[in-house]
Structure 1
């Protein structure tokens, strides 16, 4: 039995491919911005004595205090982070140019997906191994891989849909676990809700609980989108967009416009997959 494949230049699929391409480009550009101008949490792992002490002793011949107290190694971590940033910028270019350099772009995007998975694991450690945090990053590290797979043209389309469904479901379940209060609600969740809706803390918590319920229901529904398909995908796209915009909307300030631009626009970019990949899948499921 032959299954339909995702053909890049088939007019039927072109617009949905553009959605996925834009999601990957925004994500990778945002991560490049973060690594080049701010910081990434690699020190959470590289300065962890439990994980690194023996390696530092064997590789560098240093005691732990010599390692963490030497500014040279801190500078090397900073340069490493910036190098990853330049690679993400290259990967964003690969997402845009995949039509012209498909084989090279696929290799770069696949590597970028691996780098984003490593970043997700580091953040997972930073958050005390809370599984919800790892789930929340599912769409981010899988989007470049989905783009690479879609451009190949020989991959069965149902594989692509299953992969997108799993990544969307995991991301929204992770978000829902925090909104429900299964884990302590992050302070920025509450602050953004209060700022965006101009409400107090208690109404914000109640609102987030409702959203958490909807997140989990939508995450389960997208795995088997037989009934209520329009409602499920409408929610996923709309809420993914609103939560992405919340960062730039909640903290906008004319007085500190330059700081706002540097601090929060990349937070929007890295969340492009949260609404564009559900939109991509919605088009595929029609």
Structure 2
């Protein structure tokens, strides 16, 4: 009796759309994990006196010290964060089922993209309004919106691909600005490089400098990929994958594997778009 062979990469199942769905689903699952079990930086905004003092005084009728010192409001922030975590779980399901219930899924994913943009803006504020930080997060808020546009037949395909090029380029330019030292190289960049490659600080800085140059060149090349197209996409996919794995690999500990899974695995999921969206664009370019 003959059994049908399993074709893992059968084009019928393994398509650019599946890659985009997987990228969005991984991102949303990672954010759900962060919001449900860890913390998101909403207090960076909600406890900022410059931004919130007038709101607290006029709307809540409280002085700033009463607002900050009242544990009730901290509990509400935690409940808000957990509520968003459950919403991101729902949005991850919408990414998987967008072909079955397209209108509802597009609405949920659009809302999720909006909340992810707000989170990106708060992280941008937290990092001192460094434009590189905002650029680097482009794929981490725009991927669900890209999936929505790809699913909507009234949006021309060339617009979807242009959007993919722009957000990929922004992400890699932002990453390159830090690697090149335009901004002070973040300590976690250096630490992950040193841990992952088992090298010292000086070689790690030189390695990041080289990567920064390649990031910017690839980011510019992907906007109009004519020459060296294969090399550009190979770099974007490979380096996007390696930087996503770096947090998992660099901090791996067999002795504390449970803590390692809780602390770092979701960081990998959040960065699924860093290599899957370039892969999606590459498959579309090959068509």
Q: Aligning the two structures, in what range does the TM-score lie when normalised by the shorter sequence? A: over 0.9
**Which residue number corresponds to residue 3 of structure 1?**
none
Q: Which range moved further: 100-109 or 147-156?
A: 147-156
Structure-2 separation of matches of 1:157 and 1:206: 40
**Which residue number corresponds to residue 175 of structure 1?**
175
Q: Are the structure 2 counterparts of residues 163 and 212 from structure 1 closer, same or farther at C-alpha, using a change threshold of 3 Å?
A: same
Residues 1:23 and 2:30 are matched in the alignment: no
Question: TM-score, normalization: structure 2?
Answer: 0.95
**Which residue number corresponds to residue 253 of structure 2?**
253
Q: Are the structure 2 counterparts of residues 125 and 82 from structure 1 closer, same or farther at C-alpha, using a change threshold of 3 Å?
A: same
Residues 1:120 and 2:105 are matched in the alignment: no
Matches within 5 A, 1:73-112: 73-112=73-112
CA RMSD of aligned residues (A): 1.1
Residues 1:159 and 2:159 are matched in the alignment: yes
Q: Residue 183 of structure 1 aligns to a residue in which SS? A: coil
Structure-2 separation of matches of 1:263 and 1:35: 12
**After superposition, what is the alpha-carbon deviation per residue over 1:38-66, rounded to whole angstroms, capped at 9, x for unaligned?**
00000000000000001000111100001
**Which residue number corresponds to residue 57 of structure 1?**
57
Question: TM-score, normalization: structure 1?
Answer: 0.95
Structure-1 separation of matches of 2:231 and 2:205: 24
Number of aligned positions between the proteins = 276
Structure 1 residue ranges (4+ consecutive) displaced by more than 3 angstroms after TM superposition: 11-14
**After superposition, what is the alpha-carbon deviation per residue over 1:239-283, rounded to whole angstroms, capped at 9, x for unaligned?**
000000000000010111111000000000000000000000011
Structure-2 separation of matches of 1:54 and 1:180: 40
Residues 1:229 and 2:233 are matched in the alignment: no
Structure-2 separation of matches of 1:124 and 1:19: 28
Structure-2 separation of matches of 1:97 and 1:279: 21
Structure 2 unmatched ranges of 5 or more: 1-10
**Which residue number corresponds to residue 132 of structure 1?**
132
